[in-house]
Structure formats: C-alpha cells, structure tokens
Amino acid sequence: MAIDPYQYIPQPSAGVVYEPAARPSARLAGTTAVVIDAIRATTTIVSALAAGATEVVALASDAEVRAEAARRPAGSAVTCGERLGAKIEGLDLNNSPSVMTPEAVGGRSLLLTTTNGVGAIRDAMAAETVLVAALANRRAVARRCAALGRRIVFVSAGTVGTVSCEDALVAGAVCEALAETPGGAAFTLEDSARLALTAWRDAKHRLAETFAATWGGAFILGLGLEADLEACIRVDTTDVAPVARGAPPVVTAG
C-alpha cells in the first residue's frame, strides 16, 4: 500500500523541488509555488519590476520574443534574453539584473527568454499562485506566502538540468524570513525545506564566495558578468513580490 507523506505532514507546509526533472510530478495544485532562478532570471525579474518595468512576459524562445515585440507599439517593450549565459543577438538586453535600471526598463514591458528560469515559471503555472523569488525580495515573498496560508512549493530552475546550490540557498533564505513573519510559524518545513534552511544558515555570511563557487556562478564569472553576480547576492533590497499569471506567464509586481 502506497504511503502518502502529506497525510502526516501538518499543513500548511513548505517544500523544495530541487531538480528540473522532478517538476512534472510536483504536487502544485492548490499551492503557492515560489519560482527561483537565483543566477539570474528571477533576480532579473525582481530587479526589473523594482526598477519600474510594468510587466515581464516569460517567453520560451527568442522567436516568441521578437514576435511579441512586433505586436506592440514601438518603444513600449524591451527585449531580453540569453542562451547559456550569452545575450541573444538582436535582443536589447541580456538576462542581467545589473542592467535593470529605471532608464533601461522603467514604464515598459520586458519580454524575456532564458535558458532555465522561464521554463521553471511555465512549469509552475499549475499552482494556485505563482510567485518569483530572489535574495533581494525574500522577505516580501515570505510575507505574501504567510498571508496566503497555503502549502508552499519552492520550484528551483536548476542549472541546465542539474541541482542548483544558489536556488536552494534562496529557498532557505525565504524559509528563514517566513519564520520571522507574522503567521509564518504556522508552516511546517518539509525535509527538503529543512535542508535548504540549513544550507542558507551555513552560507549567508559568505554569499559572494559561495555563489562564485557554484556551477552557475563560476560560469557567468567566466563570461565577465561580475556585476550580475553581485546583484544576485543582495539581500532584502526590495518589497516587490512578483506574481505570474496566464499563458504565456506575465509577471507583475503584485
């Protein structure tokens, strides 16, 4: 007889889906999904909305980005994307949080395609609510999760199909903030979330070193994107708690 562990875990609870391959079997219906691609997509999205972008549209390919841009009034959208870290030729910006400034994106839509993060957002859309998290907005996300009161599923984008250390650290950072948020003590941490919280507490005082040593961090440093990595390790810098809705997912500040 199969055992359902969720019959024994007091609700609401919080758990982490670490590997991209596990996302299709994740129990997302009725939950709050928190998507994390710390290096760099979710940090880019949070940074863009904090800088005044009206929305971020998560698109599967650069062809979709170009087609969507063509449908919009000239100057109303910024095209943005990468494959394996490198900016896609012909698009306006790379998937770079360090360049998400009011001058670059304020008052406009960001049309975004990425190697890992966009896929995670799209896979998470079966949840009741889909939030986007980075270190920069971990407390804002924790407050929103506590207010919603549902089981939380952290959905890691991973790095080209593998477990991502930095995504786990952000999940742990949100869990820490959740425990410090009114109503957050009601959440039970599943074993996967306990692991993330332990990792975060071990690493939070040496984030630059830790992020630089990850596969994703070392990769973008090799591309000369030091400013992006610096942006990814900034903690609690914005109260934006982005929400993704629709198909294709459109992410707004709330």
Q: Is residue 2 in a domain?
A: no
* Contacts of 222 by beta carbon, 8 Å cutoff, 6+ apart: none
Please state, rounded to an integer, the average pLDDT across all residues of the chain. Answer: 97
pLDDT value at residue 82: 97
What's the chain's length in residues? 254
pLDDT value at residue 254: 83
Q: Is residue 241 in a domain?
A: yes
pLDDT digits (tens, 9 = 90+) for 30-66: 999 999 999 999 999 999 999 999 999 999 999 999 9
The band of 226, judged by pLDDT with boundaries at 50, 70 and 90, is: very high
The band of 235, judged by pLDDT with boundaries at 50, 70 and 90, is: very high
Q: Is residue 73 in a domain?
A: yes
Mean pLDDT, rounded, for 82-99: 97
Q: Is residue 68 in a domain?
A: yes
Q: Is residue 3 in a domain?
A: no
pLDDT digits (tens, 9 = 90+) for 159-199: 989 999 999 999 999 999 999 999 999 999 999 999 999 99
Q: Which domain holds residue 162?
A: 11-249
Q: Do 77 and 110 form a contact (C-beta atoms < 8 A)?
A: yes
Q: In whole angstroms, give the CA distance from residue 182 to residue 200.
A: 21
* Contacts of 213 by beta carbon, 8 Å cutoff, 6+ apart: none
DSSP string, 99-137: G--HHHHTTSEEEEE-SSHHHHHHHGGGSSEEEEE-GGG
The band of 5, judged by pLDDT with boundaries at 50, 70 and 90, is: confident
pLDDT value at residue 52: 98
The band of 125, judged by pLDDT with boundaries at 50, 70 and 90, is: very high
**How many domains are contained in the chain?**
1
Is the pLDDT reported for residue 1 higher than 70? no
| pTM > 0.95: yes or no | yes
- Tell me whether residue 91 is exposed, middle or buried, using C-beta atoms within 10 angstroms of its C-beta: 0 to 12, 13 to 18, 19 or more: buried
Query: Residue 48: in which H helix or E strand, if any?
Result: helix 41-50
Give the CATH number, domain containing residue 220.
3.90.1560.10
Mean pLDDT, rounded, for 128-133: 98
Q: In whole angstroms, give the CA distance from residue 144 to residue 170.
A: 16
Q: Is residue 39 in a domain?
A: yes
Is the pLDDT reported for residue 253 higher than 80? yes
